[in-house]
Structure 1
Amino acid sequence: MKFNRKILPDSNYSSKFISKKRLHEDEIDFDLLRSYRLDRVKKELAKRDIGACILFDPVNVRYALDTTNMSIYNMHNLTRYCFIPVSGPVILYEYFNCGHLAKHLTLIDEIRQGITWDYFSVGDQVENQLKKWTGEVENLMNLHCGKNKQLAVDVSNGPGILALNKIGLKIIEGKEILEQARKIKSKEEIQCMKASMEVCEKGVRLMGKELKAGMTENELWALLHKTNIESGGEWIEGRILSSGPRTNPWMQEASNRIIQQNEIVSFDTDMVGPYGYCADISRAFVEGHKFNSEQKKIYQMAIDHIHHNAELIKPGLSFKEFVAKSWVLPEAYYGNRYPCIVHGIGLCDEWPMVKYPTEVTDKKGQFEKDMTITVESYIGEVGGKEGVKLEQQYLIKENGLELLSHHSLEKI
């Protein structure tokens, strides 16, 4: 899909202040990165004969326009969004007095102040603000979409959707559209992801080096945050780090529990690093670096689990066939299984989420070339003392997988 304006060769943001470059910044063509992603969104809209989309989710706004502003805040406040028609101007509705933040981005045609009906922002003026917003949307759809009344919205609230329906628009679920757009990665996206992974693994190495009995789980977890932020990263999606008996069952968040000698410490990075790309790996250490026999057993099971499943994956393999051929988790461990076997990865966890045979999962999808995924394993016997969580990140290539995560697994 061609854009109706020139993408300037110098559109990389250039600050007048002295600053330190982010990792591999000079190796990434940001114009190609941005135009590819916006084009993917527009093609998905056109494929479904949808006139336009409105995106509120900060991750989707980042994907489409590469603009950020208070991302975490805007995950729970409807104050910043964008309008993207298949044909017509791309409009960013920015937070109050923040229009200057995205002026360097050439694929944004216009920046306006956002119209919000969010109760926190406007209190008892919700109804009046909602009328202003729907009036604006109606005008945009008439101007740029003609008779096409199909509008995709990724995130909103009940009053917002009802108000759009009342003005005659057919609202389409936007999450599927953006997930499908985001699933195939460009060369530039892979470069961004590798930079994020490099930062993540630097943090993981530091965690392994500093791990010692007497420190708290939170003190260890903070090292990954520190490494990420000082390297130009953004946030971490969860707080999943636990030690000793808190590793079984899984999904327990980091706490002030004091790590003891010879205990397993397992964690899942979920790290949104430089350029907004996620480095999502899981590792398990043993305090003192000497595994006992039971720790060796479950660690090796987790390795076997991941290796078996990774070797199956190639372009064209259906999720259904993959699940049927996937590593069989022994019955004693099945009750503690992880929520999925494989999931997509990009700016965050993405479609697909391929689950165990007993769970509801996508039946029609298949793996495709240039998807990026993670392969998961949690091994912890129901009622057992400890558990091991491992996860590797991959790029799907023509004949199999390229490993993107290179932090060594433990020698047991």
Structure 2
Amino acid sequence: MPKSGFNGVDFESNVNYDRLRKERLAKAKEGLKKSDLGALLCYDFDNIRYITGTYIGEWNRNKMNRHCLLIDGVEEPILFDPACPSKRQRIDWIKPENILPAVGSMRGAIPKEVGMIEKEAEEVVALLKKYGVENKPLGLDITDVPMVRALESHNVEVVDGQAVMVDVRIIKTEDEIELLKKSASMVDGVYYDLAKALRPGIMENELSAIAHKKLIGWGSEVVEFVNVISGQRGNPHSHTTSNRMIRPGEIVYFDIGNTYNGYKTCYYRTFTCGKPTPAQVRAYDKALKWINDSISVIKPGATSADVAACWPSATELGFKNEEEAFLLQFAHGIGIGLWEKPIISRLFSLDNPFELREGMVFAIETWCPAEDGTGSARIEQEIVVTKEGHEIITKFPVDEITSCGLPGCQFL
């Protein structure tokens, strides 16, 4: 069904957040039930949000105190949150008694002798006992080592819980796909502003600031990254922004990681400052062919090997091995996390094919250096695997390099 405007209205269908939360929780509960685990203990912010539908801000992501517990056979998750008094007032899909404080050790900043880790472990163990799953393995995604040791001291068998959640999240719901499209649409618009701003004398970090300002103004929760890579910094790929000033004749590529209502983008586009050189055009055309060829094979029943076979080998690109070139001809699932299943690379996908299924969403990215040493071309598209084949949800044009900043260019 075609959706209405960017934000919800009462007169047309849009993202249904109540349905989104219920369907994600149902999938997590189903994944837990299919496993041999008694419960899932999650510190990974993406898993917490997927299970509970709650968020507190990126400032708390790496503190390893906020967590949730999903117990097999129990209707609701139990949320441990530093802002629990606020959560009890502002959400109505988790019972107030299931929203508890979270302190932890703040990554070791709170002295060990205070005993906060032991208290945290005791709270979890008490809940496992209350619901009769204390003798089953406990799936844990990420945490500090002291928490693992504290749980083990109570004879809890701690095992990998991330594997369960990665598989749970691989197929996106209707509302997740719509949020991914909205997030991508924000970056579509930002690329227009960047094209207008790109000119001789502007710095990489200035361009990054333009993207941040626009996305935050449109309601982004966090701009996880804006990588601006210009000129010779593009070969080999620097994977980060600098304060380098852009000069005429240079090729520039961007990667933008936006987050809208939890859902990410990973979205490269390539530009030139001035008209592109013949070598830049050749590099771009190669990168475009590789990405288009790999997209053309995407449909339910195809495999990750079919996609990876469309890409050049690492040695063809001038690298020693596929490990060195790992992120250059690459695909990764995207959703509430930046990197989800499926991951596709010539490093392992040709020999370990993974079947593509309807509802998967992933980003495909290719890279090719220009022969004249002026940089590299980089392209990325986000793809939904549909019943009939696939849908591209990143819409800024890719058929040719976008030229900017000097007379005769597309943008001036």
**TM tier, shorter chain?**
0.7 to 0.9
1:378 offset after TM fit, Å? Answer: 0.8
Pair 1:140 & 2:127 matched: yes
Q: Residue in 2 aligned with 1:286?
A: 272
Q: Secondary structure at the match of 2:131?
A: helix
**Shift in Å at residue 55 of structure 1?**
1.1
In structure 1, the residue matched to 2:157 is: 170
Cα distance in 2 between the residues matched to 1:362 and 1:219: 43
Is the deviation greater in 105-114 or in 152-161? 105-114
Deviates more, 1:378-387 or 1:128-137: 378-387
Residue 125 of structure 1, CA deviation: 3.2
Match of 2:106 among 118, 130, 136: 118
Contact 1:24/1:195, CA 8 A, preserved across alignment: no
Q: Deviations over 1:65-121 (max 9, x none)?
A: 2211132x33321121111112224211111x5431364433323211114133555
Show the counterpart of 2:8.
Answer: 25
Amino acid of the structure 1 residue aligned with 2:215: N
CA positional deviation for 1:154: 0.9
Provide the rounded CA distance (Å) in 1 between the counterparts of 2:107 and 2:159: 24
1:394 aligns with 2:383: yes
Q: 2:33 aligns with which of 46, 49, 64?
A: 46
Structure 2 distance, partners of 1:316, 1:360, is 15
Hey, what does 2:310 align to over in structure 1? 326
**CA distance in structure 2 between the partners assigned to 1:171 and 1:320 by the alignment:** 34
Instruction: From the superposition, tell whether residues 106 and 114 of structure 1 become closer, same or farther in structure 2 (CA, over 3 Å).
Output: same
Instruction: Please give the residue correspondences for 1:293-372 in structure 2 after superposition, counting only pairs within 5 Å.
Output: 293-323=278-308, 325-329=309-313, 331-335=315-319, 337-339=325-327, 340-347=329-336, 348-356=338-346, 358-359=347-348, 363=352, 365-372=354-361
Note the alpha carbon deviations across 1:212-231, whole angstroms, 9 max, x for none: 11110000111111111111
Residues 1:146 and 1:228: Cα distance change in structure 2 (over 3 Å): same
Q: Provide the residue aligned with 1:266 in structure 2.
A: 253
Give the stretch that moved more between structures: 249-258 or 371-380.
249-258
For 2:326 and 2:280, the matched residues in 1 are separated by 18
Q: Give the letter for the 2:334 counterpart.
A: I
Overall identity of the aligned pairs, in %: 27
* Cα separation, 2, equivalents of 1:372 and 1:279: 11
Q: Are the aligned partners of 1:218 and 1:255 in contact in 2 as well (CA < 8 Å)?
A: yes
Q: Would the aligned equivalents of 2:204 and 2:246 in 1 still touch at CA under 8 Å?
A: yes
Equivalent residue for 1:12? none
AA partner of residue 99 (structure 2): I
Residue 228 (structure 1) aligned with residue 215 (structure 2): yes
Q: Following TM superposition, by how much is the alpha carbon of 1:132 offset from its aligned partner in structure 2, in angstroms?
A: 1.3
CA pair 334-107 structure 1, distance change in 2 beyond 3 A:
farther
Shift of 1:45: 0.8
Bigger Cα displacement from structure 2, 108-117 vs 215-224: 108-117
Q: For residues 14-54 of structure 1, what are the alpha-carbon distances to aligned partners after superposition, in whole Å with 9 as ceiling and x for unaligned? A: xxxxxxxx933331111110011111111111111311111
Name the count of aligned residue pairs.
Answer: 385
TM-score by length of 2: 0.87
Distance in 1 between residues matched to 2:289 and 2:137, nearest whole Å: 48
Q: Residue 28 of structure 1 contacts residue 191 of structure 1 at CA under 8 Å; is this kept in 2? A: yes
Q: Distance in 2 between matches of 1:125 and 1:398?
A: 56
Aligned twin of 1:184: 171
SS of structure 2 residue aligned to 1:305: helix
| Matching residue of 1:4 | none
Distance 1:193-1:227 versus aligned 2 partners, 3 A rule = same
How far off its partner does 1:238 sit? 3.2
Q: 2:87 aligns with which of 89, 98, 101?
A: 101
Whole-angstrom distance in 2 between the partners of 1:107 and 1:361: 44
Deviations 1:161-185 (A, max 9, x none): 1221221222121221111111111
RMSD: 2.3
- Residue 270 of structure 1 and its aligned partner are, at CA, apart by 2.1
Whether the 8 Å contact between 1:265 and 1:285 is mirrored in structure 2 is yes
Residue 219 to residue 102, structure 1, CA distance change in 2 (3 Å): farther
- Quickly say closer, same or farther: Cα 1:359–1:216, change in 2 above 3 A: same
Instruction: Quote the residue 1:90 is aligned against.
Output: 77
- Displacement after TM superposition at 1:186 (Å): 0.8
1:377 aligned residue (339, 359, 366): 366
SS at match of 1:190: helix
Q: Structure 1 length as normaliser, TM-score?
A: 0.87
Quote how far apart the aligned CAs of 1:337 are: 3.5
Residues 52 and 145 in structure 1, CA contact (< 8 A), matched pair in contact too: no
- Counterparts in 2 of 1:330 and 1:337: CA distance versus 1, 3 Å: closer
CA distance change for structure 1 residues 113 and 209 in 2, over 3 Å: closer, same or farther? Answer: same
Q: Is the 8 A contact 2:134 2:156 kept in 1?
A: no
Return 5+ residue gaps in structure 2 as ranges: 402-412
Q: Does 1:153 align with 2:140?
A: yes
Q: Which residue type is aligned with residue 345 of structure 1? A: I
Match of 1:57 among 22, 38, 44: 44
Task: Report the Cα distance in structure 2 between the residues aligned to 1:257 and 1:134, rounded to whole angstroms.
Answer: 48
Deviates more, 1:140-149 or 1:184-193: 140-149
Compute the displacement of 1:316 (Å).
2.0
For structure 1, list consecutive stretches of 5 or more residues without a partner in the other structure: 1-21
